[in-house]
C-alpha cells in the first residue's frame, strides 16, 4: 500500500518525532547528543526553520518546528541522514538507524502548542527523572526556557513565553508553573498513545 502524502506547506507547525529501528538506542553518550544538537543547529539555519522545543531520549527524539518555507522533508532528510552517517561511522555499525519515516502531525491550535511543548519537556520526567532533577536534563530545551542552561541561538523561546505574559520574567515563572502541573485527562490520553508508539526507555546512568 502506498504511503499517504505528507501535509507540507509554508508556515505549518509540526510535532516531529522518530525512534531507533527496533526501538534501539540512538544516543549512546553525551557526544552523540551534542552531535545531534549541532546538526539540528545546522538544519534550522540552513532550512530557515523556527524551532520552539526539543527533547532527546535514549531511543527517540521530539521536535516542535515551524516551516516558513514549507520544506520539512528536506530538513529532516538532512538531519536524520547526517546523524545516521555519523552514528554508524562512530559506532561501527551498518544499516538503518531510524525506524521508518519520521512522524509529523500538524499542530493546528495555539492551546495544543502549549500542551505539546509540555509533553515534549515531560519526556525526561516520565522516563525516570525525579521531579527536582528533570528540569536539569541537558538534552531538552526546558532548562533553557527556565534559565538553568544558556539558550541556543536557534531555539525560539519568545513565541511560547508570550502566550503566558508579555514580561519575560513573569512569563518564565508562569511557563515553569505550567510545566509542573499534571496534564488534564485528554492530554494524558494523547501522551499514553504516544508512549505506546515510542516505547518507554530508561534514562542512561550519569557519565
**In the prediction, which pLDDT does 47 show?**
97
Q: Considering the chain, tell me which residue range(s) the CATH 3.30.70.1290 domain(s) occupy.
A: 12-90
State how far the Cα of 40 lies from the Cα of 46, in Å rounded to an integer.
Answer: 10
DSSP letter, residue 182: P
Percentage of the chain lying above the pLDDT 90 cut: 65
| Residue 199 pLDDT greater than 60, yes or no | no
Confidence of residue 6 (pLDDT cuts 50, 70, 90): low
Q: Which grid coordinates belong to 189?
A: 490520553
Buried b (16+ CB within 10 A) or exposed e, 56-72: bbbbbbbbbbbbeeebb
Q: Classify domain 12-90 at the CATH topology level.
A: Alpha-Beta Plaits (3.30.70)
Phi, psi of 40 (to 5 degrees): -65, -45
Residue with cell 532548562: 143
Cα separation of 138 and 152, whole Å?
12
Look-up of cell digits 531538552: 140
- In the predicted model, is pLDDT for residue 196 greater than 80? no
Q: Which residue has the higher pLDDT, 141 or 183?
A: 141
Give tens-digit pLDDT for 110-126.
678 899 999 999 888 76
The rounded distance, in Å, linking the Cα atoms of 207 and 203 is: 12
The position carrying cell 529532516 is: 76
- Model confidence at 205: pLDDT above 50: no
Higher pLDDT, 50 or 5: 50
Percent of the chain having pLDDT more than 70? Answer: 81
Could you read off the pLDDT of 93-105 as tens digits, one per residue?
999 999 888 999 9
pLDDT of 112 = 84
Q: How far is 15 from 25, CA to CA, in rounded Å?
A: 21
Amino acid at each position: 500500500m502506498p504511503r499517504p502524502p505528507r501535509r507540507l506547506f509554508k508556515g505549518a507547525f509540526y510535532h516531529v518525532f522518530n525512534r531507533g529501528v527496533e526501538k534501539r538506542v540512538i544516543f549512546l553518550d553525551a557526544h552523540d547528543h551534542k552531535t545531534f544538537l549541532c546538526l539540528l543547529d545546522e538544519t534550522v539555519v540552513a532550512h530557515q526553520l523556527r524551532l520552539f522545543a526539543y527533547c532527546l531520549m535514549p531511543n527517540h527524539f521530539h521536535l516542535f518546528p515551524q516551516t516558513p518555507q514549507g520544506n520539512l522533508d528536506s530538513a529532516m532528510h538532512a538531519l536524520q541522514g547526517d546523524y545516521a552517517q555519523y552514528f554508524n561511522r562512530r559506532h561501527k555499525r551498518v544499516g538503518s538507524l531510524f525506524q521508518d519515516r519520521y512522524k509529523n502531525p500538524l499542530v493546528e491550535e495555539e492551546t495544543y502548542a502549549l500542551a505539546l511543548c509540555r509533553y515534549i519537556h515531560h519526556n525526561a520526567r516520565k522516563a525516570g527523572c525525579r521531579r527536582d532533577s528533570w528540569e536539569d536534563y541537558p538534552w531538552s530545551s526546558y532548562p533553557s526556557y527556565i534559565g538553568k542552561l544558556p539558550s541556543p541561538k536557534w531555539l525560539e523561546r519568545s513565541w511560547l513565553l508570550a502566550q503566558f505574559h508579555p514580561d519575560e520574567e513573569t512569563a518564565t515563572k508562569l511557563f515553569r508553573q505550567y510545566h509542573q502541573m499534571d496534564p488534564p485527562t485528554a492530554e494524558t490520553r494523547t501522551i499514553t498513545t504516544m508512549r505506546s508508539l515510542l516505547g518507554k526507555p530508561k534514562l542512561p546512568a550519569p557519565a
